Structure 1
Amino acid sequence: MTRGPTVRELTAQALSSVERGYDLLAPKFDHTSFRTPDPVLDAMTEALRPLGPFDAALDVCCGTGAGVGVLRRLAVDRVVGVDFSAGMLARARAAHPGGPRWVRADARALPFAPATFDLAISLGAFGHFLPHERPALFAGIRATLRPGGRFAFPMAAPPRVGSPPYWALWGFDAAMRLRNAVWRPRFVMYYRTFRLPDVRRELAAAGFTVRILPLTALGRRDDGTLRCALLVAEATAVTAAATARAAAPPRRRASGH
């Protein structure tokens, strides 16, 4: 039986670059907590279904293909998964034989013609992008979408300030910043830098209008707030600034799941 990675294997990954780390983790990735849970995939599928039908869809930072599974369940005719990790793409091909097209590329330099897709999704990759990198990422995704196309991804509710999960994420990010200050190559993975107000503003600047769809199937917290929601950004006008960011050379690549 295939098991998850050992502490030694996770340490080797953490001391590698993002790309090399995911190549190392790929064979056991689907047996880790890093993979997007099936209930989230199911809820996302049902939330997107009324917005279709979709002709062509892109999974950005597709990892081992969990998001591609969502797209195939939505009966998308043409499905493309893009990732920079050769190891993760190899696992995706094995898990989803036939149909999807797999492309190895930098998420910030997507190799697709403008207005190719009517849906783009991403799962679990945004922590690999520093805040100043997100505008170019969003502009590039916007450029691949047709007018009215949608870019969707789930967002979990942030932990309450002072709660154990809050301090766990704070500690992880602090440890990662220390690691990157003293070790090269860097491994960029931060949990507390992807904040909804910032993301909404950056998406609007890239030419999207944003709405939030509740994922009620995932339940509520003790205070009644939703545990998770789906952010859906609809492609509107492409601004000059967004076009410039989409054309900017990439600095780093990222993998998702």
Structure 2
Amino acid sequence: MYSDDDAAALYDLLNPWDPARSPDNAFYDELVLAAPTVLDVGCGTGAMLHRAREQGHTGRLVGLDPDRPSLARARRRSDIEWVDGRAADAAWSGEFDLATMTSHAFQCLVGDEELRASLAAIRAALRPGGRFAFETRHPQARAWLEWNPANAVELTDGAGRALRIWHEVESADDAVVTFNSTTAAPDGTVLHRDRSSLRFLAPEALDYLLAEAGFTVEARYGDWHRGPVTATSREIVTVAVRA
């Protein structure tokens, strides 16, 4: 069996936080290191906040995530606050200078009610003038077309097991894409499978929801080098300010 704990460890192997190699990591690192207090919403295994401490951040760092196996890995560092919960359930009030949602975590907010409640809770957690930085995949790029077994990844995990990992789209309707992620042995034996849904919002829809929640868009980028959003952009990177 391949447990949820194994899956959390595999995530770190597949997605190491390395600002020197990943421009998205570098983008967030710059923001985090400049902010006295940071709330990372959907922190996963905590790699970004771990890195911030290693780089000398001395302020308050808080990671929030509902996935307990991921939080168990995050808690390897005890000098950061780790909270089990969803964005919509957050109850902080004016305590943070920066809130982040990295690794396309914003797209996990699929339903209108959950999305609006999450934005309201994040805004409430920020001080007046506090910033909320996140990214989503631009729907025009249709990234889900690449999520198929032909693009499977083969690797060896930390326990020495050879693995094959792929995604398969189940449906793509009304800006919501539902897909299955499969981890298997080389012979095809399925070890672990997750079903997920992601919401793909265009810039105009994002701006409407942010304004409705009490945010003003400070900056909008189409790539991790702070280029503009264009007809070929694959990302929508947003920095919003609590109005």
The TM-score range, normalised by the shorter chain, is: 0.5 to 0.7
**2:75 equivalent in structure 1:** 93
- What is the Cα deviation at residue 65 of structure 1? 0.9
* 1:174 alignment partner, one of 171, 185, 200: 171
**2:133 equivalent in structure 1:** 152
Q: Which structure would you say has the larger RCO, counting Cα contacts within 8 Å and 6 or more residues apart? A: 1
Which residue identity lines up with residue 92 of structure 1 in the other structure?
A
* 2:40 alignment partner, one of 53, 56, 59: 59
CA contact (8 A) 2:222 2:236 kept: yes
> Which structure 2 residues correspond to residues 117-136 of structure 1 after superposition, within 5 A?
117-123=96-102, 124-132=104-112, 133-136=114-117
Matched, 1:196 2:203: yes
* Cα distance, 1:234–1:71 mapped onto 2, change above 3 Å: farther
Equivalenced residues, count = 200
Structure 1 runs of 4+ aligned residues shifted over 6 Å read 218-221
Superposition RMSD in Å: 3.6
Matched, 1:45 2:23: no
**1:242 equivalent in structure 2:** none
CA contact (8 A) 1:121 1:152 kept: yes
- Cα deviation, 1:107-153, whole Å, max 9, x if unaligned, reads 211132x1011110011322322141211110110001110000101
Greater share of residues in helix: 1
Counterparts of 1:74 and 1:228, CA distance in 2: 29
Counterparts of 1:205 and 1:219, CA distance in 2: 26
SS in 2 for 1:152: strand
**1:208 equivalent in structure 2:** 215
- What is the Cα deviation at residue 209 of structure 1? 0.2
* Cα distance, 1:220–1:59 mapped onto 2, change above 3 Å: same
- What is the Cα deviation at residue 205 of structure 1? 0.6
Counterparts of 2:7 and 2:195, CA distance in 1: 15
SS in 2 for 1:190: strand
SS in 2 for 1:59: strand
Counterparts of 2:213 and 2:50, CA distance in 1: 27
**2:157 equivalent in structure 1:** none
Counterparts of 2:71 and 2:134, CA distance in 1: 20
**1:244 equivalent in structure 2:** none
Counterparts of 2:138 and 2:56, CA distance in 1: 25
* 2:49 alignment partner, one of 68, 86, 93: 68
- Cα deviation, 1:34-62, whole Å, max 9, x if unaligned, reads x777511113323x27xx74221100011
Counterparts of 1:78 and 1:110, CA distance in 2: 16
* 2:242 alignment partner, one of 235, 238, 245: 235
SS in 1 for 2:135: strand
CA contact (8 A) 1:219 1:226 kept: no
**2:124 equivalent in structure 1:** 143
Which residue identity lines up with residue 97 of structure 2 in the other structure?
D
Greater share of residues in strand: 2
Counterparts of 1:173 and 1:200, CA distance in 2: 28
Counterparts of 1:37 and 1:227, CA distance in 2: 21
* 1:81 alignment partner, one of 63, 74, 77: 63
Which residue identity lines up with residue 235 of structure 1 in the other structure?
R
Segments of structure 2 that go 5 or more residues without pairing to the other structure are 149-167, 181-193
Counterparts of 1:130 and 1:79, CA distance in 2: 26
Q: TM-score of the superposition, structure 1-length normalised?
A: 0.63
